[in-house]
Amino acid sequence: MNQKLKIMVVDDEAIVGKRLKPSLESSGYTVETFGDGRSAIARLAKERFDIVITDVRMDDVDGIQILEYVRANIPQTKVILITGYASVDLARRALDKGAFDFIAKPFKPGDLRTVIEKAARAPSA
């Protein structure tokens, strides 16, 4: 909570990254945003992130694949999934796969901050 947490936001909706970056940075986090799963994973291979926040449904490489990559390669990193309301039960199943939490669209920046704080407090797996 004291050190700057490194957060990655992955969503193919450009506006999500555009708004969350300044919003989360103003809370003291370091934020990098990506518009697709492939470049996000490429970045994860190079840089360590504390929290990865990713949309579940994306073309090509989706949020589940990112989750699987993280659990396999960098298990200390926590993954938070962004889901559409309709697929909440998919998110629940993803929790079994090792995701830390999920948040359903549409959400406010404040809601996301709450979840991030929860993740920051939780001990590393």
Name the site residues for another protein (rule: CB under 8 A).
13, 15-16, 18-20, 22-23, 26, 57, 59, 62, 84-87, 105-110
Comparing CB distances to another protein, the nearer of 13 and 47 is: 13
User: Minimum CB separation from another protein for residue 13, in Å?
Assistant: 5
Residue 14 neighbours by CB under 8 Å, 6+ apart? 35
Comparing CB distances to another protein, the nearer of 12 and 32 is: 12
User: Minimum CB separation from another protein for residue 120, in Å?
Assistant: 20
Tokens of 95: 């929790």
Alpha-carbon span 81 to 49, nearest angstrom = 15
User: Minimum CB separation from another protein for residue 80, in Å?
Assistant: 15
Cβ proximity of 24 and 111 under 8 Å: no
Beta pairing partners, 78: 51
